Amino acid sequence: MGFPLGRKKDFKIIIPKEIKNNELFARAFIRGMLDTDGCVVPQRKTNMILDICIMNSDLMGIMKEVCDKVDVNFSYSKNRVYLCTVKKVKDFFSKIGSSNLRNIIRFDHHMKKGYSIRASEIERFLTEYSKVKLPYYLGL
């Protein structure tokens, strides 16, 4: 997309109109934001949070616009977009998915076992998940 390398906080960021006007591209854009600048983390053992850090205010505005287009109902803070319940994260993985194995492993493990694993535990699951079809969607 032509994003500059390194710090993007102070740059004017514009995305192609096709992303905003095409639902498939919009979903891929949101998935890419999660895969590069986001994470799925455990919260209080049985809950989870999907969190994306966005330091550039232009990009935050674009993200809100694109999420509204595809009906992804994030909560927003100054530099974060997030979902805070298992149901919302599950809906996100059904609709948007992920191509980041770290996020896929944490999410899938939570769905199968009822709790999320810590970052230090992810490595032991990499072989098991290495053949997962990407992008990963819940239910496929």
**Residue 38, domain CATH:** 3.10.28.10
The pTM score is: 0.87
Q: Region 37-44: what's the mean pLDDT?
A: 88
Q: Would residue 40 count as lying in a domain? A: yes
User: What DSSP assignment string belongs to 82-125?
Assistant: EE-SHHHHHHHHHHT-B--HHHHHHHHHHHHHSSPPPGGGGGGG
Distance CA 38, CA 41 (A): 10
Per-residue pLDDT reduced to its tens digit, 67-124: 999 999 999 999 999 999 999 999 999 999 999 999 999 999 999 988 878 888 899 9
Q: Would residue 8 count as lying in a domain? A: no
Distance CA 96, CA 108 (A): 15
Q: Would residue 140 count as lying in a domain? A: no
Distance CA 21, CA 115 (A): 37
Q: Would residue 84 count as lying in a domain? A: yes
The count of domains in the chain is: 1
Per-residue pLDDT reduced to its tens digit, 48-81: 899 999 999 999 999 999 999 999 999 999 999 9
Distance CA 26, CA 13 (A): 16
- Report which listed range, 10-14, 28-32, 42-46, 56-60, is most confident: 28-32
Q: Would residue 81 count as lying in a domain? A: yes
Which residues, listed in sequence order, are joined to residue 48 by a DSSP beta bridge? 42
Q: Would residue 83 count as lying in a domain? A: yes
With beta carbons less than 8 A apart as the criterion, state whether 29 and 96 touch: no
Residue 8 reports pLDDT greater than 90: no
Instruction: Identify the domain containing residue 64 by its residue range.
Output: 17-129
Residue 6 reports pLDDT greater than 80: no
The CA-atom distances, in angstroms, between 135 and each of 11, 25, 80, 99 are: 29, 13, 23, 5
